[in-house]
A and B are shown apart, each in its own frame.
Chain A
């Protein structure tokens, strides 16, 4: 680099520290380089899905923790000790995780709409790391309407793996985004409530009750051997919690233990809850 020691008066010394834009424009332009804001790199890593953020949200089960990145919601867990949650996330997902003030508005709104039963709302989920089978199970569970339940075997039959009932249960037990993917709406094939990763059977009852189901009568019906409900006016047979079954007045409600029994009485399967998939569960 050339030494430009000032040669003249004190005035020239001062002038030397001010870039002479006319003669040294190119070098002065290099001085317009600035540092990136500190927020850019972390936000970028989150945007590409190589790091996650988390914050709390209210839910029917009380406050929950939601983690997300640019690909969507990556984790849902019970709120509580943030250290314990961070440890679980680190052990299972392993990406860098940082606490944030709030869940981004679009994600929070989508979660709220989903919990309220609106299945048309688009929701972005980060299901990386799941097998194809696990993803199929989770996506199928996403279709179960609020206030209704389906047996594990129903999911297995619907995704074309009718014998994989136990694997369906395992896939749902490892659902990274419970509540958002409503694995609580999947119950045992004999009608009993079954397990729940987000706080056990008690929490599962709480959330189903909050969605308008009566878990007691659900289990009572199952104990009595009632697997299907038909209407003697329409001659359509449904799974017991199907919204079409709920519309049947007690006077016209006909319980069935099997689809075969319903079929021999001249009933056809409901096209919405597709109880044939449910009967595969009973067979399994």
Chain B
């Protein structure tokens, strides 16, 4: 958060000279948000790039004070969410919803497991995250965006509300509705159940 305040100050005094730092700091999260909202890596990369271009263009028109006061994390998140929504709308008009392979790259690491985890356990973890990504992709747009920003990206409730331009109460309700639907979905996932049985056998 403090790093973002410092970055906003640098952008305010030298946009062109500091924009590379903004990209380096936020590219992972913008790509992640777009990927979790859209499902397709190429769409996600396009949308993340477009979001940075929008941000650059917007800041080019702002005076220094306005740039300094930007809360970069929720602001950038709001841009990428809006662009993802537009992209999705266009895709939906063209084709029926695609069944896309959810991407898992950096697996969830439980504390202390590290490299000592067996290949079998690592594979199981990957499989679990894949299932989770697929379940997330099936949430309705509202709860999905709320869950992605709040728990995948790790914004606070207030930041998520700012990014989605909704009241905090609505965001809280959407997050808990999303989590409840995920739990329900995961409890009935046949692959996951088979996995558990296999592991505890």
Contacts and interface: CB of A to CB of B under 8 A. Distances in A.
Contact of B133 (A2, A22, A32, A50): A32
A19 B36 CA distance: 19
B200 interface: yes
B21 to A, nearest CB: 11
B179 A25 contact: yes
Output the residue of A16, A28, A36 with the most chain B CB within 10 A: A36
A21 B24 contact: no
Interface stretch (A41-49, A77-85, A263-271): A41-49
B49 A33 contact: no
B35 to A, nearest CB: 6
B92 interface: no
Interface string B1-41: 00000000000000010011001100111111001100001
A7 interface: no
Contact of B132 (A1, A17, A28, A41): A28
Summarize A's interface: helix, strand, loop or mixed: loop
**B interface: dominant SS:** helix
Contacts of B110: 4, 16-17, 19
Nearest to B27: A36
Contacts of B152: 29-30, 32-33
B128 to A, nearest CB: 6
Give the interface residue-count category, chain A: 35 or more
A37 B46 CA distance: 11
Contact of B28 (A17, A19, A30, A36): A36
Given A17-B113, A47-B52, A48-B56, A34 B124 contact: no
B107, B110, B120: residue with the most chain A Cβ atoms closer than 10 Å:
B110
A25 B185 CA distance: 12
B28 A44 contact: no
A25 B27 contact: no
B131 to A, nearest CB: 8
Interface residues of B, number: 61
B151 A29 contact: yes
Contact of B199 (A18, A32, A70): A18
Contacts of B129: 19, 28, 31-32
Interface stretch (B63-71, B83-91, B98-106, B163-171): B98-106
A30 B151 contact: yes
A11 to B, nearest CB: 5
Contacts of B112: 3-5
B138 to A, nearest CB: 14
Given A33-B28, A34-B28, A19 B23 contact: no
B53 interface: yes
Nearest to B175: A26
Given A11-B200, A28-B108, A34 B132 contact: no
Contacts of B105: 34-35
Contact of B52 (A27, A29, A44): A44
Given A3-B111, A44-B52, A45-B20, A21 B31 contact: no
Interface string B162-201: 0000000000000000010011001100001001100111
A11 B196 CA distance: 11
Interface string A38-64: 011101110110100000000000000
B147 interface: yes
A33 B105 CA distance: 8
A-B residue pairs, 6 tightest by C-beta: A31-B108, A36-B31, A29-B151, A36-B27, A17-B121, A48-B56
6 contacts: A15-B196, A16-B113, A22-B187, A28-B129, A31-B132, A40-B45
